[in-house]
Amino acid sequence: MKIKNGAEYIESLRKIRPVIYYKGEKIEDVTRHAATAPHMRSAAMTYALASHDKYKDIATATSHLTGRTISRFTHVHQGIEDLIKKIKFLRVLGQKTGTCFQRCVGLDGINATYSVVYEIDQELGTDYFERFKKWLIRIQDENLMVVGAMTDPKGDRSKGPADQPDPDQYVHVVERREDGIVIRGAKLHMTGAVNSHEILLMPTAAMDERSKDYAIVCAVPVDAPGITMIFGRQASDDRRDRRERIDSGKPVFGAVGGEAVIAFEDVFVPTERVFMDGETEFTGMLVYRFAAHHRANYGACKTGLMDVLTGAVSYLTQIQGTARGSHVKDKITEMIHLCETLYCSSIACSAEGWPTPSGAYMVDTMLANVCKQNVTRYHFEVARLAVDLAGGFLATLPSQYDLESEDVGHLVKKYFSGVAGIPTEYRMKIARLIEAMTGGTALIESMHGAGSPQAQRIMIFREGKIDQKIKLAKALVGIPVKKDSPKKQ
């Protein structure tokens, strides 16, 4: 691994020059800008743990391509053990950053692409797999951060790509040259984009025959000409003054992933970086595998966040004098219960993993969809319980400026204190942490990241094997099962 730790990662970012806007202005250095630096620090944790004795085993892997030690975030899963170690690594990262660390999306893109392009080549005689491996070995060796870019803007959602009034609502090829292709469009909600090295583009949905130009998989560096990023706003994103470190809730790491729009205004991609071009019949499989991997991960990172939230609330009840209340214990029990229920699905879909023809391991797709579906419910409920136990002062707490004010600081210290001996500042810090982790952006991301709830429900119904279940019921009451006339719903 060329990049061996957090410091080297940060250094590496300073050498590239992506075009990034935020609040109408250009960001010159993402590693130092108040808006982007906290997110970059979360990603840096993925690099840091790789050299940490305690975590090395889960944070790294041995490349099946080169035999070299690589970051697990660049690894193609070679078995169930890999899938489970990844889950454990993600939970630890969630615990240590209390937020999104952004590298899953690239990892899942790599794994989905690897297995699918192998099958394209097998069926169609193309050579995407070799191209992709070459690119991947570089990613592994240099330990680059890749943003998996899937979600298109979609414009009018009642219409597909080919029927949009504006064809650019889905990324597509606008020109084909001898040495490559030119693409146009945009990808939204790009987690970690501003502090990544590479973009791996994938189609956002299964494409039909009419949408060949939209069936594109390719890789581009973040600073390729024609690329512009716009960094999105987050709840309370202006609390970044030095005297608002407490008020930010998370003085070191960001909230959520730090998402950006990536606009591609006629970006050239050389042939060796193109991994799918027009094979519409494989787009569904690609999206599906990516989504399954990504949904599996949400039950790992989010449980890390819930661990933090449970700890924060437990501590707060201790320093407020309410920890012994039976309803307090019961609600904390419920937080843990929901968190571990979620974790079960990440572990289970990994334990039930299976090898694709390429050798890359997939998670069980039913259980992975179940996992993400529960994230969209439980994260809100855990947050609701945290807010319940923390108390109403979360919503009315004065600022750090007031805490430190000569005029009113004594009042804040006095009237926001808890049990004797604990500094008011501790109580405020924890309150702000809970505020940051339960409000707005944090929960919205849980709802929609890796696909909105309805997307999972469609898959759960489809994979539900209704016909087999009907046979079970018929057998129990003695209704004849006609074997050769499967009924379709």
Residues in 292-311 at the binding interface with its own copies, rule: CB under 8 A: 307-311
| 344 noted as active-site residue | no
For the bound state, the minimum distance from the C-beta of residue 409 to its own copies, rounded and expressed in Å, comes to: 9
Please list every residue from 40 through 99 that binds its own copies, using CB under 8 A: 84, 95-98
Which region among 116-124, 131-139, 274-282, 386-394 touches its own copies (by CB under 8 A)?
A: 386-394
Residue 469 binds its own copies (CB under 8 A): yes
- Minimum CB–partner distance for residue 120 and its own copies (Å): 29
Residue 315 as a binder of its own copies (CB under 8 A): the answer is yes
Active site residue 294: yes
The reply to whether 301 belongs to the active site is yes
Annotated active-site residue 100? The verdict is yes
Q: x-or-dash pattern for its own copies, window 340-379, by CB under 8 A?
A: xx-xxx-xxxxxx-------------xx--xx-xx-x---
CB of 292 to its own copies, least distance (A): 14
In the range 410-449, which residues lie near its own copies by CB under 8 A? 411-412, 414-420, 426, 429-430, 432-433, 435, 438-441, 443-445, 447-449
* Residue ranges in 111-170 that form contacts with its own copies under rule CB under 8 A: 151, 153, 155-159, 165-166, 168-169
The end-to-end CA distance of the chain, in Å, is: 51
Q: Which of these is catalytic: 36, 74, 97, 191? A: 191
Q: What is the 3-state secondary structure (H, E, C) of the chain?
A: CCCCCHHHHHHHHCCCCCCEEECCEECCCCCCCCCCHHHHHHHHHHHHHHHCCCCHHHHEEECCCCCCEEEHHHCCCCCHHHHHHHHHHHHHHHHHHCCCCCCHHHHHHHHHHHHHHHHHHHHHCCCHHHHHHHHHHHHHHHCCCEEEECCCCCCCCCCCHHHCCCHHHCCEEEEEECCEEEEEEEEEEEECHHHCCEEEECCCCCCCHHHHHHCEEEEEECCCCCEEEEECCCCCCCCCCHHHCCCCCCCCCCCCCCEEEEEEEEEEEEHHHEEEECCHHHHHHHHHHHHHHHHHHHHHHHHHHHHHHHHHHHHHHHHHCCCCCHHHHHHHHHHHHHHHHHHHHHHHHHHCCEECCCCCEECCHHHHHHHHHHHHHHHHHHHHHHHHHHCHHHHCCCCHHHHCCCCCHHHHHHHCCCCCCCCHHHHHHHHHHHHHHHCHHHHHHHHHCCCCHHHHHHHHHHCCCHHHHHHHHHHHHCCCCCCCCCCCC
130 among known catalytic residues: no
Q: By C-beta, is 2 or 457 nearer to its own copies? A: 457
Q: Which CB atom, from 110 or from 412, has the smaller least distance to its own copies?
A: 412
Question: Is 259 tagged catalytic?
Answer: yes
Active-site residue, from 198, 259, 279, 435: 259
Site residues for its own copies, window 232-261 (CB under 8 A)? 232-239, 243, 246-247, 249-253, 256, 259-261
- Near its own copies by CB under 8 A: residue from 15, 54, 324, 482: 324
Please identify which residue in 28, 54, 179, 326 interacts with its own copies, judged by CB under 8 A: 326
Please say which residue, 209 or 326, places its beta carbon nearer to its own copies.
326
Q: Which of these is catalytic: 9, 74, 104, 128?
A: 104
- Relative to beta strand 20-22, strand 227-231 is parallel
One of 218, 301, 339, 371 is an active-site residue; which one?
Answer: 301
The yes or no reply on residue 15 touching its own copies (CB under 8 A) is no
Does the annotation count 104 as an active-site position? yes
| Beta carbon nearer to its own copies, 252 or 285 | 252
Question: Which residues are designated catalytic?
Answer: 100, 104, 191, 259, 294, 298, 301, 445
